[in-house]
Structure 1
Amino acid sequence: MQIASLPYLDEHTTLVAAGVDDVWRGLGETLDRSFSRPSMAGYARLVRSADRSASGPRPLAEGSTFPGFRVAAAIPGRELVLRGSHRFSSYALIFRLEPVGPGRSRLSAESRAVFPGPAGAFYRRLVIGTGGHVAGMRRLLSAVRHRSEG
């Protein structure tokens, strides 16, 4: 399934007191650290994610993986597109960076996903309906901001 055909879920944005190059580095490091934990690898196996381990080039580039995600596109300092799938969903996270002034950047994270069948609908209620996805995205963007500004 093409990323553009996945239904839009939401978008979260944060302003970062750092240039886009620092935010790009912080984004890659935060994603690797957050998603390469043993608990994430276990979860990826449990839901039968297509990608279950970290592999490929670092810093992140097209083809790099970590549990639950594969880098579909990487334009350093501008855009990072992640895609993934498991037995309950096909999904994408699209991170966009833009300079907003000297030493300041805007980082946005757009989420897209489809949840097919009754099991997918139940999974959607668990992840989206409980607010877990929103909390996770806010926490992730906050971590990127802190790492990039530090």
Structure 2
Amino acid sequence: MSNATFDPVACVTREHDAALEFIDILRREQHALHHADGSLLVSLAMEKSQQAQQLVQLADARNRWLGMLGYPPNRIGMERGLQDCPDATDAWQKLLQLAETAGQLNKINGILVAQRLRYNQQKLVALHAATHSARSPGLYGSDGQPEPFSGGRRLGEV
């Protein structure tokens, strides 16, 4: 890729648009987590993964361009690469803000997932304790077969 084939304005704008789409997915994921809508989470995870892959590809193209210019693949390198391109500089600053927003949303979603997981684990522990309590005999054994009643009084006995 030569310097002539990489258009900083167009490429940073594509990255900006992809980041906006990623943020939209994160917000929909957050909504599904708040409303405990597990049916949406699998499709959102796939969509999020695809969008993240697109962002990686766009960033890789940008980093290759920076490498060809002799700049490091980081903020400082990008700022140096964009010195002669003020239109792209504006888009770059907006992209950085979007990246920060995406990071915050992803962190919040991770916290929500952890809370849901803890809640579900607590429910499972409570269910397990209730079904294996010494005071309440199980109706079925671990093999799924009915277990005979082993405690208490039999009908008709005093």
Tell me the TM-score normalised to structure 2 length. Answer: 0.24
More helix by share: 2
Higher relative contact order (CA 8 A, sep 6+): 1
Tell me the TM-score normalised to structure 1 length. Answer: 0.25
More strand by share: 1
Q: Which has the larger radius of gyration?
A: 2
